[in-house]
Amino acid sequence: MTNTIISTNPATGETIWEQPVGDADGHVKAARGAWAEWASQSSTYRIETLRRFANIVRGKKDEFAALISSETGKPLWETATEVTAVINKVDISAEAYFERTPSRNKEGDLSEQNSLRHKPHGVLAVLGPFNFPAHLPNGHIIPALIAGNAIVFKPSEKTPATGEFLVQCYHEAGVPEDVIRLVVGGPDQGKELASHDGIDGLLFTGSVRGGMALHQQFASRPDKILALELGGNNPLVVWDSPDLDATAAIIVQSAFMTAGQRCTAARRLIIEEGKHEELLEKLRKLIERIIVGAPDEKPEPFMGCVIDNRSAEAVTDGFLDLMMKGGNPIAHLKRIEDDKPFLTPGLIDVTGIEKRADEEIFGPLLQVIRVPDFATAIREANNTRFGLSASLLSGSPDLYNQFWANIRAGIVNWNKPTNGASSAAPFGGIGLSGNHRPSAYYAADYCAYPVASAEAPSARAAIKTGLKDPEF
């Protein structure tokens, strides 16, 4: 067990942050002692506190974006959009809170009324991912704080500095220190936090393997809320798309933004046999033009590195495995430097592989599958245990209607990237992509529980049947 967490810049290998691991038990106890007072505040008070948080982040936008880039290797243009999403989450979550968890009263007989109100769970643990180390945990934390919960947050051990910066902004805005606590640590601290009796639920964004382990762990604890945002083996179907240049651009955006490290990234490109060659040639040429580099390089790169060398090795091994099984490379995925996790985007035709593994290779690798007709394209798109995101690139509204009606995914797009998802809409998937508890706008649903009350100003009751005659 390591006693120190060290964060390095994946683009340079430099150490940028170091701290000893935290005490999950102590943080949970502190949050447990603070949440009731936070919950007793009005929702207006809590929302205004978090609007101050948004203003503080807005004032530190450049600093925050630079920190995320140094810890993840993502280009600055991309981390700036992540910080903007952190800021925007407050107003979106406030709107969702009032829409999804309103109080309602319905008048009954004899001055009675049936009331619906919502209460916070108490203390919620949040385990954050490395790919969007500010935006994704913030998407759980803001709705939970608005609802009146206290938070114990453990960021990914690969991006702890970003997590610390985020929590400092909450505290600076006036969220009490014990209402949101930061646990520094690795898998051991994550397991300790997830299994702690003092939490009332866990909000998790991460890998399918991690989500399955948590689901098994929580199987005997139906009293604790568990929200899982997991990955996807997402299909992108191209069929009769009239503008091949725009189509190629959307494919690149879907597959290679964030170096392919998005749960919504396109993993499978499904195209029509016999009409694929011109598109694949345009796509190959566009991939060759993609600049891969460190965040501060000029000209600014489209794509940075993956999170670390171990991840780079895993993606490279996945590409080589597909080649060994009969895949035909169109654009080779390569390590640019042996000691740094920079990869060139990979494109490989796997149509000839009979038994394709249904896995999420978390990096810049896109698999091409050629099919004879649109019905087969839909079947191939649904040929996965996952169900997060899917997109159709086509000029036909009728084909999109058919696609939308038959595809199994929580996000279904038309002539847009697979990773185009609005924070003002629900976010989540089916199958192994999550537990049917969409995040984003619907996060309010799992951050508070409904309480139904039958209420009357005085007690009125009489039993008219089933009683013996009174004895005199």
Q: Is 263 one of the annotated active-site residues of the chain? A: yes
Strands (E), 290-443: 328-331, 335-337, 340-343, 346-349, 365-371, 389-393, 411-414, 426-427, 439-440
What three-state secondary structure class fits 45?
helix
Phi, psi dihedral angles at 439 (to 5 degrees): -95, -150
Burial class (CB in 10 A: 0-12, 13-18, 19+), 241: buried
The catalytically annotated residue of 192, 229, 360, 380 is: 229
Burial class (CB in 10 A: 0-12, 13-18, 19+), 328: middle
As beta bridge partners, residue 204 has 127, 228
- Rounded CA separation 418/405 (Å): 17
> Which residue, 416, 383, 420, is CA-closest to 241?
416
Residues 345/331, Cβ–Cβ less than 8 Å: yes
Supply the DSSP string of 50-79, one letter for each residue.
Answer: HHHHHHHHHHTHHHHHHHHHHHH---HHHH
Residues 261/363, Cβ–Cβ less than 8 Å: yes
The catalytically annotated residue of 157, 169, 263, 380 is: 263
What three-state secondary structure class fits 280?
helix
Q: Is 305 one of the annotated active-site residues of the chain? A: no
Give the DSSP letter of residue 110: T
Burial class (CB in 10 A: 0-12, 13-18, 19+), 382: middle
* Catalytic positions, written as ranges: 229, 263
